[in-house]
Amino acid sequence: MCPLKRTESQKPNKTMKQLNKPTDNLGGLLSIWAVPPSDITISFNTVSFSTTDNIVKMYCSPGSISFTEKATLEKYRVAYKNEINAFIPKDAPETQSIINDMIGRKCVVILLDQNEYYKVAGTPEIPLRVSFDLDTGSDTRFLSTEHKLVKPSRRNLF
């Protein structure tokens, strides 16, 4: 067997972009905030609120929050389906009241990941619609927020 030799053109390019294995990455999401589109302004990587009175911060069971943004081809363009799933524990009257108030409403969702980076799903112009499902097997609420867009709605905020 002949050993392989690296030619000059195969040497690593110092200007090449690389996605290296992170040494301190914590996967998963920690928190969700649902913000009415009329109460939020997004400018590049900055978010401003006209009021925080209508924002709903949702406690969810640890490890239960997930966010997906799937691209689909629709007719002549690419659309994106956003979905946020999470378990909201304890079906208490106060929880039920807040959930009932949110059903069918549109919102922009802010997500906090375990690396303490914020992401935004939806925009004030194209918000997400909120729906909930009850899962009595584990006495929790299931949050599903989705909307189809012509471009990705997720933005990273640092």
- Using one digit for the tens of pLDDT, what is the confidence trace for 126-141? 888 888 877 665 544 5
Q: Count Cβ neighbours within 10 Å for each residue of 53-63 and write b for 16 or more, e otherwise.
A: eebbebebeee
| Structure confidence at residue 133 (pLDDT) | 75
Paired strand residues for 118: 112, 157
Measured CA to CA in angstroms, residue 63 lies from 21, 29, 30, 42, 58 at distances of 22, 7, 8, 28, 14
- Residue 128's domain comprises 27-157
* 82: in domain: yes
* 12: in domain: no
Q: Based on the structure, what is the number of domains in the chain?
A: 1
Percent share of the chain, pLDDT over 90: 15
Q: Model's pTM, two decimal places?
A: 0.72
Average per-residue pLDDT for the chain:
77
Which range has highest mean pLDDT (2-11, 35-44, 145-154)? 35-44
* 6: in domain: no
* 3: in domain: no
Q: If we measure between CA atoms, which residue out of 34, 41, 30 comes closest to residue 63?
A: 30
Averaged pLDDT for residues 4-19: 63
pLDDT exceeds cutoff 70 at 1: no
How do residues 15-69 score in pLDDT, each as one tens digit?
777 777 666 666 788 889 999 999 999 988 889 999 999 999 988 888 888 888 8
| Structure confidence at residue 103 (pLDDT) | 86
